[in-house]
Amino acid sequence: MKRRHFLGLLGAAGVTLTTGTKAKASDAADVAGLPNAFGVLFDASRCIGCRKCEAACNTVNELPKPDKPFDDLTVLDTERRTTATAYTVVDKYTPKAGENPVFRKIQCNHCMEPACASACFVKALKKTETGAVVYDASLCVGCRYCMVACPFNIPAYEYNKALTPRVMKCTMCYPRIKEGKLPGCVEACPKEALQFGRRRDLLNIAWDRITANTDKYVSHVYGEHEMGGTSWLYIAPKPSFAALGMDEHLGTTPAPELTAGALTAVPAVVGIWPVLLTGLYAVSKRKDRIAEEEKKAAVEAAIAKASAEAEAKLAEELTKAEVAGKRRIEVEVKKALEAAAKTSEGGEDA
Amino acid sequence: MSTENTKNSLFTPFNIIAGVILAAGIVVTIMRFTMGLGAVTNLSDNNPWGLWIGFDLLCGVALAAGGYTTSAACYIFGFKRFHAAVRPAILTAFLGYALVVFALGYDVGRPWRLPYPIFYSQGTTSVLFEVGLCVFIYLTVLFIEYLPAALEWLGGFDKYRTVLIKVTMGLTILGVILSTLHQSSLGALYLIVPSKLHPLWYTPYLPVMFFMSSMFAGLSMVVFEGTLSHRYFHDKMDDDYNANYMDLQFAFAKGAAWIMSGYLAMKLIGLAMDNRWHYLFTGFGAWWLFEVVGFVVLPCYCYAVGYRDRNIGLVRIAAPWTVIGIILNRFDVSLVAFNWKLPSALRYFPSVSEIIISLFVVTVGVLAFRFIVTRMPIFYAHPAYKDSSH
Amino acid sequence: MKNAKQRTGSLLVALALLGAGGLLSLMAGGGAARAQGDDKLRADILSIDELKKFGPLTQPPVVFLHDKHTAALGKQKQFYKKECGTCHLSDKDGTMFLAYQRDDKPMDADRIKETFHANCIGCHKKMAEDGMKAGPTDVQCKGCHNGNPDVASNWQPLVVDKKLHYRHAATQAESENKCGACHHIYDEAAGKTIAAPAPEKVPGACVYCHTESGTDVKGRKPEKIRSLRLATHGECVTCHRSIAAAGGKDVATGPTTCAGCHGPLDQKAIAETSRKKVPADADLRIKRGQPDFALVRPVKAEKPLVGADGKPIKDYGMPPVPFDHKYHESKNETCVSCHHAALTSCAACHTPAGDEKGGYVPLEAAMHKVEALQSCAGCHAAQQKKPECAGCHASMKKGVGDVSQCGSCHVPPQGALEQSVAEFMERRDKDAAAMAPGLAEKLLAGKRSETATIAVEDIPETVTLGSLAKDYQPSVLPHRKIVLSLVAGMKGDKLAGAFHATDTTVCQGCHHMSPASKTPPRCGNCHPAVEGTAATPRPTLKAAYHNQCMNCHTAMGISGKVADKAPGAKPVPKSTDCTGCHAAKKN
């Protein structure tokens, strides 16, 4: 749904780079209802730390042989994680000092809605209908966002390959499942600490085992709800899953939902921004225009005022000039009259 | 150290340092593509993203935000008088994004497949897909926006130049949209790891935070870069640029101060929403306060006071300070607060080679910038197109 | 302007420090775990947090080391004048209050605070003035209010077990009323507590009346019944001190320091002394007139049942449970193990339907609740955790999961007893009570007191598990040895004997979920050899073998260790020692 939205809005933005492609199982919505997905139930109280699963995984996946052989159990004394050459590792924990150690097998949990698959920008990782989350090296760009996204720190990377590095992780033995076989590790486990089956059946078995032994087990199936649920399920002896180095605070939100909000905001931005920005542009343009007009008006007014003043001044000058002229004429006339009067007086004396 | 004066001698201190970095970078490049990432980086299965993502990508993109902020201010918000600052900002952004992609070529396992997410297999549920698509388009947009300068320099492409100038407005809006999307998406990348990122940094608002901080990062970067350019490329600048330059710095200071206070409010709301105050009394809390008080509150205050008092010196101090703050923030999210639950022995610290490549990328950027501004009409309007408003 | 610059400078310095501090603490990675030496583990830690009841504390509580103070003050001359009175007040009868420098009347927060501050600091100051080593004298809070003390508590509750009780009783052997020396009752007429006049009048353990926090009884004088802590410290420590004071250093008496009773090492020493001092043939039973046998009456309809047609319906109830009280006494250290609230019958509080008095635990649950150690099933389930039992029982359902087990306790009366039991169930009078012990003894007569199994020659000596052999050779199970060592582990265990009622019960530890028989079905009959992709709760054969063998070995604590003492005996293989059970195939 997010994808379609996203494409829709890209279209809205006028960006028509991508073409609609067929829906894939990696779409979260399609995966949530995988009723027949397989899974594996791991019972930590049964695991004896024999590393047979590690050996089987190594053989089945044709991984390079490790430095120390698989029957060397001193390896368990250091805490390990999955690597590019080990899809699964078993770690040893001692929840209560002086008591027997408890073991945990670590491998890809094959989330129902995988963080890695939702994070992959080329769909190199996808959740299959079998429940397995599988990787296609032919698409992988090697951005390693899947490794960042994985809440269980599972995917590993071939850092030492210069040109063809791959992301490496457990495949739940997808090819073997397809042939109706069990995953390598499950088949090798001497104690059925690993049990393969439909996830919904495994959940029932897990809860039956817990209720039959409430004083032994933690009352929780790890993976039933964690991160939206995982295909790999865990039950463990008391005191807690945290005692086995497992994060009990992952929450139940599927990883794709964590970024869904941000992705659904995309249409809003693409839809609203142009309108808003064009509006702003229009406003600022109008402001400019109004400012321009006001300026023009002001200039005109100024010019008008200036010319009016000039005219008034001219008129005034003219009047002034007129008055002055009149006065001058008057004076001249007066002068002439006086001169005339003088001339007439003198004539009588001669 | 003016570039014009160095024509006589190639062996200026700048050139020597740049040369050494380039040489070292080339050596590491060869190692990277013959021996793999493992040989040159401290990356591990627990720490798949290191300096090249934390600095080259996250900081690179944030600091290249000057492009969209300046062009938006000029063309959309109508600050026409800043017109002269647009071209330098666009150029910086273009080079910035080009270098981000260039640096990604080192970081991703098979760089020649970088077009895959866009042309071959679209992983549309991924935030990274959104980032990639937006960066790809935006880089194209920036290139088109930058093109007129190149065309003016080459001469004789007036027809094309005119067409390009006409779509500026559209490109600017597109640029803002794309920037909004991918700047925030870089923050959204970390939404998927609530269990790995320390709660003081993890918040559902990460995308908003990244977007807001990219805005003041861009503004600060323009101010900072302007100050630097003034020192080294003063002779290239025309009167128009110089006349409005102080004005622009003050305006950007004001804008940055406002956005930074909003950003600060968001940070606090984020804490209050999930009631995460108690984390403040831990080691990470002290570090968070160091980042927020030392590199948001204080530079924000400097900007505000600098603007109020018309104190250009203060503004010019605040700009690089903010830029360092942004880098610090991106480092915190991607490296320091990431994987906080891991024991310290498993935590990441960059290798010398990684630092060399980051320096190498920056150096290439600076050299390209110098090459272009000393030749093309960036800080000045081309005499032939003086009347054009672009 | 200069000022502003200075301020900015100091602000920057502060920020730098903040940043550096944050970075450093990030590097350190997580809180600094304190290394704890043994001398830092103490039993005398008192946390002075009395202001807690007035609201949140503004300072961390003071960690007060009581023994350290008494030891330090003991060296002082004037201490011998005032002794405990140096810190504690007494009432007019000379009874000391356990609170510091005040009586038992309520006090407001300010006055409590003042009492501590004035007296603690005052005393420290005075000692320092006199040139002695003293505690913090300054007014800096952290000297005393240290939120991060370098000591940790190893305080253990003290249990007066039967041997310790015997030793206390022995000191009173001469006295007329030896129980009354410690055990008191409240006398209504006198309006105060008096010594318990006779063993039957002893109310039992202190904790029955002196609860953890003390109780107030309206109309009683005094209204307050002291908390267990105040009562035991008030009585025990006072008594120990007075004996020491009267007899001097040579008279043996009990501890008076915190560690003396509550320190793990001292408790070990007490147990060791008990072992030496109490004669091996001593009768440790605490006699208070309790019966040797009891008949536990199951829930029964109060009124006769009447059908729809008005005719009475016969009540087919559960048969009563015969209970060997004396034997159970011998297997428990104190009466409180079962009688957790009073020395009455369980039904006195746990009514059939459950009510407030019994904490709403109905009678049925009081007997069968597996989680409760005071219940029959709970205590028996706890016994099954012993390594000898855990091999089989760790993977079995605990308590009343298996209904076929009901008869183990609710013994079905046979022959003549049937009539007597029916009569007992009908009547609730004194005669019924009187007949109970005899009846119970008879009902228990048929119980095995030792676990037995089928004849040795009928137990297959070895069993070869080879149907799955692929990577390894078949595993040869020393079957008879295993059975016999399991039975040997139960030797002398009456509980095991009573419940492993038939010869084949023991077999069912491994041969589970199928009818008990000398020739049980093969494992492969139920457990499929090949694991399919459809998950089922039933393990496949490989897992069944491994689970059964390894879980048993682990639960019994014998994996990787020599199980029997025969010379040259091979250790029981560890779970991860594949070739220990089945040799590797030679290629």
Q: Which of A73, A172, A191 would best serve as a mutation to test chain C binding (most C beta carbons within 10 A)?
A: A191
C390 contacts: CB under 8 Å, gap ≥ 6: C384, C555, C556
| CB spacing of C28 vs B286 below 8 angstroms | no
Say if CB B374 and CB B233 are below 8 A apart. yes
What is the pLDDT at residue B276? 84
DSSP character at residue B318: H
DSSP character at residue C397: P
Q: Is residue A38's pLDDT more than 70? A: yes
B288 touches chain C (CB under 8 A): yes
What is the pLDDT at residue A87? 95
CB contacts < 8 A (A, B): 205
Say if CB B196 and CB B341 are below 8 A apart. yes
What is the pLDDT at residue A10? 41
Separation between Cα atoms, residue A240 and residue A250, nearest integer Å? 15
Separation between Cα atoms, residue C6 and residue C8, nearest integer Å? 5
Strand ranges in C123-225 using DSSP code E only, listed in sequence order: 152-153, 184-187, 192-195, 215-216, 224-225
Q: Which residue has the higher pLDDT, C34 or C527?
A: C527
Q: Across the interface, which of C537, C540, C546 has its CB nearest the CB of A205? A: C537
Task: Assign C185 to helix, strand or coil.
Answer: strand
Q: Is residue A43's pLDDT more than 90? A: yes
For residue B29, the Cα-to-chain-centroid distance in whole angstroms is 23
| CB spacing of A6 vs B130 below 8 angstroms | yes
Q: Is residue A30's pLDDT more than 70? A: no
Strands C224-225 and C215-216: antiparallel
What is the pLDDT at residue A233? 96
B188 touches chain A (CB under 8 A): yes
C35 pLDDT band, cuts 50/70/90, is very low
Separation between Cα atoms, residue B305 and residue B257, nearest integer Å? 9
What is the pLDDT at residue C217? 86
HEC sequence for B25-43: HHHHHHHHHHHCHHHHCCC
What stretches of B120-238 show up as alpha helix (H) in DSSP? Answer: 127-154, 158-166, 168-188, 206-232
Return the half-sphere exposure (C-beta side, CA atoms, 13 A cut-off) of residue A238.
Answer: 7
Torsion of CA C303, C308, C314, C320, to 10 degrees: -50
Separation between Cα atoms, residue B219 and residue B248, nearest integer Å? 10
Task: Assign B23 to helix, strand or coil.
Answer: helix
CA distance readout (Å), C559 to A294, C99, C171, C508, C554: 99, 53, 48, 21, 6
B19 touches chain A (CB under 8 A): no
What would the two tokens of residue C70 be? 């008494």
| CB spacing of A196 vs C531 below 8 angstroms | yes
A22 pLDDT band, cuts 50/70/90, is very low
What would the two tokens of residue B300 be? 């924000």
What is the pLDDT at residue A49? 93
Q: Is residue A213's pLDDT more than 90? A: no
What would the two tokens of residue C213 be? 């926090």
What is the pLDDT at residue A159? 93
Q: Which of B126, B338, B342 would best serve as a mutation to test chain A binding (most A beta carbons within 10 A)?
A: B126
H-run or E-run covering C152: strand C152-153
Give the A-side interface with C, CB within 8 Å: 38, 41, 46, 48-50, 73, 100, 177, 180-182, 186-187, 189-192, 195-198, 201-202, 205, 208-209, 212, 215
* pLDDT, mean over chain C: 85
What is the pLDDT at residue C7? 61
Residue written as token pair 């029997």 = C564
What would the two tokens of residue C139 be? 């007014």
* pLDDT, mean over chain A: 84
A168-186 pLDDT tens trace: 999 999 999 999 999 999 9
Q: Is residue C401's pLDDT more than 70? A: no
What is the pLDDT at residue A19? 35
| CB spacing of B343 vs C28 below 8 angstroms | no
Show residues of chain A in contact with C576, CB under 8 Å: 48-50, 73
* C152-173 average pLDDT score: 90
Say if CB C15 and CB B290 are below 8 A apart. yes
Q: Across the interface, which of B33, B123, B169 has its CB nearest the CB of A281? A: B169
Q: Across the interface, which of B76, B110, B121 has its CB nearest the CB of A277? A: B76
- Percent of chain C's residues with pLDDT above 90: 36
Q: Is residue C3's pLDDT more than 90? A: no
C379 pLDDT band, cuts 50/70/90, is very high
Say if CB C585 and CB C473 are below 8 A apart. yes
Q: Which residue has the higher pLDDT, A37 or B154?
A: A37
CA distance readout (Å), A120 to A90, A130, B186, C411, C457: 28, 20, 15, 69, 69
Q: Across the interface, which of A38, A192, A198 has its CB nearest the CB of C543? A: A192
Q: Which residue has the higher pLDDT, B5 or C286?
A: C286
What is the pLDDT at residue C8? 58
List the pLDDT tens digit at each of the 390 positions of chain B. Answer: 444 444 456 778 888 899 999 999 999 999 999 999 999 999 999 999 999 999 999 998 988 888 888 888 887 777 777 777 788 888 888 999 999 999 999 999 999 999 999 899 988 889 999 999 989 999 999 898 888 888 888 877 778 888 888 888 788 888 888 888 889 899 999 999 999 999 999 988 899 999 999 999 988 988 888 888 888 887 777 777 777 778 888 888 888 899 999 999 999 988 888 888 888 888 899 999 999 999 999 999 989 998 888 888 888 888 899 999 999 999 999 999 999 988 888 899 999 999 999 999 999 999 998 888 888 888 877 776 655 544
**Least Cα separation, residue B291 to chain C (angstroms):** 8
What is the pLDDT at residue A349? 45
C427-462 pLDDT tens trace: 888 888 889 999 999 999 988 889 999 999 999 999
CA distance readout (Å), B271 to B199, B202, B203, B266, B335: 9, 10, 8, 9, 20
A48-99 pLDDT tens trace: 999 999 999 999 999 999 999 998 999 999 999 999 999 999 999 998 877 8
φ and ψ of B338, to 5 deg: -80, 140
Say if CB A197 and CB A41 are below 8 A apart. yes
What is the pLDDT at residue B149? 84
What would the two tokens of residue B204 be? 């559902």
CA distance readout (Å), B359 to B101, B135, B173, B331, B356: 15, 22, 33, 16, 5
**A contact chains, 3+ CB pairs < 8 A:** B, C
H-run or E-run covering B121: none
Show residues of chain B in contact with A165, CB under 8 Å: 36-37, 109-110
C33 pLDDT band, cuts 50/70/90, is very low
| CB spacing of B185 vs A262 below 8 angstroms | yes
